[in-house]
């Protein structure tokens, strides 16, 4: 047992430190009303595939550690490879980004910038079946097919993961490390006085 | 008249919050005193080592993230170093420094989580844990900035790292490093001399020096028992020989010492980080490595100082794209083997403090 003469000291010290927090900046974010801007390289919750630039080499399929990407490829009349079907099992995907790194074209497969697919109501859905914002406020269907999960459009934001050249176009990250201050606020207050 | 009493066998866990995941302890009690304990694990077993033998070397990097998921960067580093050793790949200096920065940040964040959960286990509800998670969050944001993920980073590659540091990384890191010592001092003031913490930790669960060595424990558990053993210093890898830092050790090998060692290690990590940021050279972030890794037949054991102790990868290559044998020397599992010696004779409430002070991650125990 600790000596009795120190009894209560720890409690007082703890209260003092906790009280010191009252004067500090809040770090909590009122999600979903408030959102921090994610990292530009974020590996979000969806894989975006670009039909136009894909050369159907299946490098992404081979690079996937869990086999989440499945491609069906055939040769067309002009002897060129074309993708008949691509499915990404997002339940299986571990979002490691190895498919993006392996892509020889560098632009055919992206990880989305998005991290929250949830909405309060279906009327808040960001995209409808055609991948554009709903005009009548109703998305029609909540469950989307694989084809719709891999749209070839610019509606869903793409992250700059493994694409340093894109980094400039994307918004900078808002960080807790910038928001919270230990001594800086106090210093600034002193200076302003 | 003497009463005839039987020993009582109870299970603690796996649903108990202090069992740190899917882990169960079968205790034999005499009243409230523990006379025997049998740790039962394997609920999380994912066959990671076997899986790794069926995947090629690059695909195994994301697997290593999931071993000790609170220190994924260090796991990445250890595995990449093992394969680099097999392939004789040179790692550029900048990449070495980036790896050290990531590993030390990860060590701080792992210790913050470890100490936070430990204090939560001994009844310091929420406050210290939330304070520590606040700082961990900042480190996680730095990782997010670098590699786009917050838990399973998959950042290191054979020959270096996947991507260079973004331009906003170093200012944010410098700001964090200036703040961090203040926060560590705050935890120190808040907790270290608290009567309840002292009463519940001082002299509890003593792991004697000899036993700590014989049980092959490593990391803060070993150093808490007073043994100055740190691979970063004793067998320097990467660029650790260029930094000035100390190895904190305990004196009694009790729960309190293990906690104090972790707290001091965070300070030392900040010290290393400050030096690494100053010395960070320009240049390539990844060296010359083939896309398809096919090491020549051979074997390697490469160990680094993980947040929980010596983390080693034993890889046997047979010349093909896949490893022939892949084994992880997981510090959590080996530190756990000393648990029995530590808890016998103590009461059930002390078990939580002792178990929390070992700081295990079940992902690493049940590979």
The tokens for A109 are 């497969």
Set of chain B residues whose Cβ sits within 8 Å of the Cβ of A14 = 127, 190, 194
Residue A138 burial (CB count, 10 A)? 12
A175 CB near a chain B CB, below 8 Å? yes
Tokens 């595995």 belong to B79
Task: Name residues whose C-beta falls within 8 Å of residue B262's C-beta, 6 or more positions apart in sequence.
Answer: B111, B114, B115, B220, B359
Tell me how far apart the alpha carbons of residues A22 and A190 are, in angstroms, rounded to a whole number: 18
Q: What is the pLDDT of residue B193?
A: 80
Contact B44, B366 (CB under 8 A): yes
Tell me how far apart the alpha carbons of residues A23 and B56 are, in angstroms, rounded to a whole number: 53
The tokens for A111 are 């990880």
More confident residue, A20 or B281: B281
Closest to A119 measured CA to CA, from A137, A98, A132: A137
Q: What is the DSSP letter of B286?
A: B
DSSP helix/strand/coil, B226 = coil
Interface of B with A (CB under 8 A): 55, 58-63, 127, 134, 137-138, 141-142, 144-149, 152, 154, 162-164, 166, 168, 172, 175-176, 179, 182-183, 186, 189-190, 193-199, 202
Please report, rounded to a whole number, the percentage of residues in chain A having pLDDT higher than 70.
67
pLDDT tier for residue A140 given thresholds of 50, 70 and 90:
very low
More confident residue, A185 or A71: A71
Number of Cβ pairs < 8 A linking chain A and chain B: 110
Q: How much is the CA Rg of chain A, to the nearest whole Å?
A: 25
| Distance (Å) of CA B194 to CA A76, B111, B201, B349 | 75, 20, 11, 18
Closest to A103 measured CA to CA, from A154, A47, A171, A167: A47
Q: Do the Cβ atoms of B164 and A176 come within 8 Å?
A: no
Tell me how far apart the alpha carbons of residues B349 and B351 are, in angstroms, rounded to a whole number: 5
Tell me how far apart the alpha carbons of residues B109 and B111 are, in angstroms, rounded to a whole number: 5
pLDDT tier for residue A190 given thresholds of 50, 70 and 90:
low
Q: Do the Cβ atoms of B182 and A182 come within 8 Å?
A: yes
Q: What is the pLDDT of residue A132?
A: 43
A6: pLDDT strictly greater than 60: yes
C-alpha triplet B301, B304, B308: angle, nearest 5° = 120
Set of chain B residues whose Cβ sits within 8 Å of the Cβ of A183 = 179, 182
A7 → chain B, closest CA residue: B195
pTM of the model: 0.88
The shortest CB-CB distance from B198 to any of A2, A40, A173 is to: A2
pLDDT tens for A32-44 read 777 777 888 888 8
B189 → chain A, closest CA residue: A13
Closest to B239 measured CA to CA, from B289, B276, B284, B286: B276
Q: Where are the alpha helices (DSSP H) in chain B?
A: 48-53, 61-65, 72-87, 93-121, 127-147, 169-187, 195-201, 209-214, 220-224, 231-234, 255-279, 331-336, 339-343, 348-358, 362-365
Q: What is the pLDDT of residue B214?
A: 92
Maximum separation of any 2 CA atoms in chain A, in Å = 91
pLDDT tier for residue A79 given thresholds of 50, 70 and 90:
confident
B178 → chain A, closest CA residue: A182
Tell me how far apart the alpha carbons of residues B79 and B158 are, in angstroms, rounded to a whole number: 9
Q: What is the pLDDT of residue A35?
A: 75
Mean pLDDT, all residues of chain A:
73
Q: How much is the CA Rg of chain B, to the nearest whole Å?
A: 21
Set of chain B residues whose Cβ sits within 8 Å of the Cβ of A111 = 148
Q: What is the ipTM of this complex?
A: 0.84
Q: Do the Cβ atoms of A175 and B62 come within 8 Å?
A: no
Please report, rounded to a whole number, the percentage of residues in chain A having pLDDT higher than 90.
7
When pLDDT is averaged across residues A142-160 and rounded to a whole number, the result is 56
Q: Which of A128-132, A149-153, B66-70, B270-274 has the lowest mean pLDDT?
A: A128-132
Closest to B352 measured CA to CA, from B25, B102, B47: B25
Q: What is the pLDDT of residue B262?
A: 93
Helix (H) or strand (E) holding B305: strand B298-305
pLDDT tier for residue A137 given thresholds of 50, 70 and 90:
very low
A130: pLDDT strictly greater than 70: no
Backbone angles phi, psi at B157, to 5 degrees: -130, 165
Q: Do the Cβ atoms of A40 and B166 come within 8 Å?
A: yes
Q: Do the Cβ atoms of B168 and A173 come within 8 Å?
A: yes
Q: Do the Cβ atoms of B148 and A10 come within 8 Å?
A: no
Distance from CA of A46 to the nearest CA of B (A): 13
pLDDT tens for B35-64 read 999 988 888 888 889 999 998 999 999 999
Per-residue pLDDT of chain B (367 residues; tens, 9 = 90+): 788 888 889 988 787 777 777 888 899 998 889 999 998 888 888 888 999 999 899 999 999 999 889 999 999 999 999 999 999 999 999 999 999 999 999 999 999 999 999 998 888 778 888 889 988 999 999 999 899 888 999 999 999 999 999 888 898 899 899 989 988 998 888 888 888 888 888 889 899 999 999 999 999 999 999 999 999 999 999 899 999 999 999 998 899 999 999 999 999 999 999 999 999 999 999 988 888 889 999 999 999 999 999 999 999 999 899 999 999 999 999 998 888 889 999 998 898 899 889 888 888 888 8
């Amino acid at each position: 047992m600790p000596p009795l003469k120190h009894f209560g000291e720890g409690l007082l010290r703890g209260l003092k430190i906790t009280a010191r927090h009252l004067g500090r900046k809040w770090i909590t974010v009122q999600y979903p009303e408030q959102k921090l801007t994610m990292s530009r390289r974020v590996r979000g919750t969806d894989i975006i595939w670009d039909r136009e630039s894909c050369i159907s080499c299946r490098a992404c399929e081979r690079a996937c550690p869990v086999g989440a990407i499945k491609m069906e490829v055939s040769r067309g009349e002009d002897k060129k490879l074309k993708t008949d079907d691509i499915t990404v099992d997002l339940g299986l995907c571990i979002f490691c980004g190895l498919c993006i790194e392996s892509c020889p074209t560098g632009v055919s497969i992206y990880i989305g910038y998005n991290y929250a697919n949830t909405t309060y109501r279906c009327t808040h859905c960001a995209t409808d079946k055609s991948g554009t914002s709903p005009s009548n406020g109703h998305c029609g269907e909540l469950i989307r097919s694989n084809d719709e999960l891999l749209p070839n459009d610019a509606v869903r934001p793409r992250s700059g993961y493994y694409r340093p050249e894109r980094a400039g176009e994307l918004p900078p990250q808002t960080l807790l490390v910038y928001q919270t201050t230990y001594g800086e606020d106090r210093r600034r207050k002193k200076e302003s006085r | 008249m003497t009463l005839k009493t039987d020993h009582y066998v109870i299970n603690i866990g796996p649903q108990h919050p202090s069992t740190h995941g899917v882990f169960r302890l079968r205790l034999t009690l005499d009243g409230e005193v523990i006379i025997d304990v049998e740790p039962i694990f394997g609920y999380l077993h994912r066959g990671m080592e076997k899986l790794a033998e069926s995947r090629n070397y690059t695909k195994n990097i994301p697997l290593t993230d999931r071993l000790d998921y609170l220190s994924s960067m260090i796991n990445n580093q250890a595995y990449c170093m093992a394969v680099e050793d097999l392939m004789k790949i040179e790692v550029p200096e900048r990449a070495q420094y980036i790896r050290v920065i990531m590993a030390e940040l990860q060590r701080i964040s792992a210790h913050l989580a470890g100490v936070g959960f430990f204090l939560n286990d001994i009844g310091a509800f929420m406050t210290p844990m939330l304070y520590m998670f606040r700082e961990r969050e900042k480190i996680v944001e730095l990782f997010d900035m670098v590699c786009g993920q917050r838990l399973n980073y998959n950042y290191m590659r054979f020959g270096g790292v996947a991507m260079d540091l973004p331009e906003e990384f170093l200012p944010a890191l410098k700001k964090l490093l200036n703040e961090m010592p203040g926060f560590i001092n705050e935890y120190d003031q808040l907790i270290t001399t608290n009567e309840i913490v002292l009463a519940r930790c001082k002299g509890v669960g003593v792991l004697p020096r000899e036993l700590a060595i014989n049980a092959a424990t490593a990391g803060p558990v070993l150093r808490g028992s007073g043994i100055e053993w740190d691979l970063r210093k004793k067998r320097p890898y990467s660029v650790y020989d260029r930094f000035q830092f100390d190895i904190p050790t305990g004196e009694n090998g009790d729960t309190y010492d293990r906690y104090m060692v972790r707290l001091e290690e965070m300070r030392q990590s900040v010290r290393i980080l400050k030096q690494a940021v100053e010395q960070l050279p320009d240049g390539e972030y990844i060296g010359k490595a083939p896309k398809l890794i096919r090491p020549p037949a051979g074997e390697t054991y490469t160990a680094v100082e993980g947040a929980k102790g010596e983390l080693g990868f034993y890889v046997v290559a047979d010349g093909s794209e896949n490893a022939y044998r892949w084994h992880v020397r997981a510090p959590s599992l080996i530190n756990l083997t000393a648990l029995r010696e530590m808890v016998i004779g103590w009461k059930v409430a002390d078990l939580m403090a002792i178990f929390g002070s070992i700081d295990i991650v079940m992902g690493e125990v049940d590979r």
